[in-house]
Structure 1
């Protein structure tokens, strides 16, 4: 218990606003790496996922690539890319590693959102004379958005936790305090920085959970909330009605 009290004392100490890396600056660096990497991954994975979900082509290959990307060790990949690209491009090397970590979840959310749509809804749109582009943007994208947001949610949580290893190659972020605390055997600093990372992850998870509920189309949300009467109840009601 004393470790937690010391960790919170470390977080709220006035010393965190000064020094080589103030805590607000470290948080800003951490979030910049997170949002920048997820944004780049989304620009790559969402169009590919929508294409796979819309056409049904390349699904098995996408699953294979997603599984292979998840198996890559992030720290080892960052070190390898720094060695290949040079120390001058270590920021780019770290971003590439985080982008590769985020792509599988976003890709899966993008094409799974399309695959979860009832085919009768798409057939009805085509029967009304919708073009393939209208089916894509007016049916598939709105109905698949909740699962896509879920993929972005998972990717963001994975990246915000993994960005701590950026400090291993001198890129700052909240991992700076963890690396420094390990070297100095300063357990309150290690635990305090870890608590801040957890708090960021919980905050982002809450934002994406709320967003995932907001993007559900109104018709779908209303349909889910409408109580359904069992056939037996209706049959009894008809049977009891006067002739």
Structure 2
């Protein structure tokens, strides 16, 4: 109970929220890093998944190859990147490691969503004279949107939780609060940092849940 009380005191102290090393600064860094990695991951994974799902070829192989990355610890990838020439490129070792971590759920969910589109609808669109690109953008992608958003949500939450490793490479983010707590032998600060990361992840989860709940209405509107 003493640790919990001290953790609460740390979280409610305004001195810990402001300044160069304050919570708000670290939260902004964490949000920036997560957003950049999520954006890059989407740019890399989604076009591949959508095209392969539309064609119905090579998707299973791509998904299996991407899932191999899940078996490799992100921290191990980060260490290898730091020891490589990329290690001198600022935040890029962390970004590359996190992007590799986020690609599998994006690729898998988008491909499964595309392949799960009702083929009768696809054949009807083809019979109406739609081109492949028109079917992809106006029929298949809207119908696959719920699963695509699920993949984005999973990747975003995982990135929020895993972006704490940036602190180990000298980067910013909420992980710096945790590592600083270890350096100071301050258990309350370590626990406070973990609580902040957990709350941030839950907030991101809630935001994407709301977006996913709205997506069926958007799909029906576009279909209409």
Please give the TM-score of this superposition, normalised by the length of structure 1.
0.86
**Structure-1 separation of matches of 2:127 and 2:86:** 57
* Residue 85 of structure 1: how far off its partner (Å): 2.2
**Structure-1 separation of matches of 2:50 and 2:67:** 18
- 1:164 aligns with 164
**Structure-2 separation of matches of 1:105 and 1:183:** 34
CA distance change for structure 1 residues 86 and 60 in 2, over 3 Å: closer, same or farther?
Answer: closer
CA distance change for structure 1 residues 111 and 6 in 2, over 3 Å: closer, same or farther?
Answer: same
Superposed structure 1 runs of 4+ greater than 6 Å apart: none
- 1:118 aligns with 118
The aligned runs of 1:143-154 (5 Å cut-off) are 143-154=143-154
* CA contact 2:18–2:25 (8 Å) conserved in 1: no
Is it true that 1:209 corresponds to 2:201 in the alignment? Answer: no
* CA contact 1:164–1:174 (8 Å) conserved in 2: yes
Which consecutive residues of structure 2, in runs of 5 or more, have no partner in the other structure? Answer: none
Which consecutive residues of structure 1, in runs of 5 or more, have no partner in the other structure? Answer: 222-243
CA shift digits 1:63-86 (9 cap, x unpaired): 221221111211111121111025
**Structure-1 separation of matches of 2:47 and 2:151:** 14
* Pairs aligned (count): 221
Which is greater in Rg?
Answer: 1
* Residue 89 of structure 1: how far off its partner (Å): 1.3
CA shift digits 1:205-232 (9 cap, x unpaired): 01111111111146759xxxxxxxxxxx
- 1:55 aligns with 55
CA distance change for structure 1 residues 178 and 145 in 2, over 3 Å: closer, same or farther?
Answer: same
- 1:84 aligns with 84
- 1:140 aligns with 140
- 1:39 aligns with 39
**Structure-2 separation of matches of 1:166 and 1:135:** 41
CA distance change for structure 1 residues 61 and 86 in 2, over 3 Å: closer, same or farther?
Answer: closer
**Structure-2 separation of matches of 1:134 and 1:67:** 30
**Structure-2 separation of matches of 1:218 and 1:29:** 32
